[in-house]
């Protein structure tokens, strides 16, 4: 069995947890994660953790927020008048919206807060500012 290295295609089962133990993602309920080491398809710390592993090996890696999705940034939130949203749009706090920019680029926003007259939108990644723990199991290396 070969150790995983840059350029290898790998299949990995994983569970991602927050510091309080909350599971935010897991491949066990769906399909294993597949990526090529070095193609920057996953967090660099996950690529680094997988490098050198052999199929069947397990590892737990802790990733500080700065190395994961970065710090939560206040400047990525914006309060907008509720009447600036389409009349037929029903939204709730925690809901995610995809908004197309004038450039054609899509941006994912979360509804952070609402009042009678305003909606606070947050463009931070949902895991920004959070330290993460991943339990990894390398399944295949090709």
pLDDT score recorded for residue 111 = 96
Kindly list the structural domains of the chain, giving each domain's residue range(s) and its CATH number in brackets, ordered by start: 9-70+128-141 (3.10.50.40), 74-122 (2.40.10.330)
Closest CA to 95 of 68, 122, 60: 122
Residues with Cβ within 8 Å of 112's Cβ and at least 6 positions away in sequence, in order, are 77, 93, 120, 121, 122
Tell me the HSE value of 123 on the side-chain side, using a 13 A CA sphere: 11
Q: Are 63 and 132 in contact (CB under 8 A)?
A: yes
Q: What is the CA radius of gyration of the chain?
A: 19
Structure tokens at 106: 């899509």
Structure tokens at 98: 């995809």
- DSSP category for residue 119: E
Q: What is the pTM of this model?
A: 0.83
pLDDT tens-digit series, residues 23-49:
999 999 899 999 999 999 999 999 999
pLDDT tens-digit series, residues 58-82:
999 999 999 999 999 999 999 999 9
């Amino acid at each position: 069995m070969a150790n995983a290295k840059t350029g290898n295609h790998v299949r990995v089962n994983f569970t991602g947890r927050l510091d309080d133990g909350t599971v935010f993602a897991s491949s066990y309920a769906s399909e294993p994660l597949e990526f090529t080491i070095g193609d920057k398809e996953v967090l660099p710390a996950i690529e680094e953790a997988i490098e050198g592993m052999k199929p069947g090996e397990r590892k737990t890696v802790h990733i500080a927020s700065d190395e994961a999705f970065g710090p939560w940034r206040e400047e990525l939130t914006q309060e907008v008048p509720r009447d600036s949203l389409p009349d037929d749009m029903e939204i709730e706090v925690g809901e995610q919206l995809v908004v197309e920019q004038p450039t054609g680029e899509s941006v994912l926003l979360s509804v952070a807060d609402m009042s009678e007259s305003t909606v606070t939108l947050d463009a931070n990644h949902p895991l920004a500012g959070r330290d993460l723990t991943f339990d990894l199991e390398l399944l295949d290396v090709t």
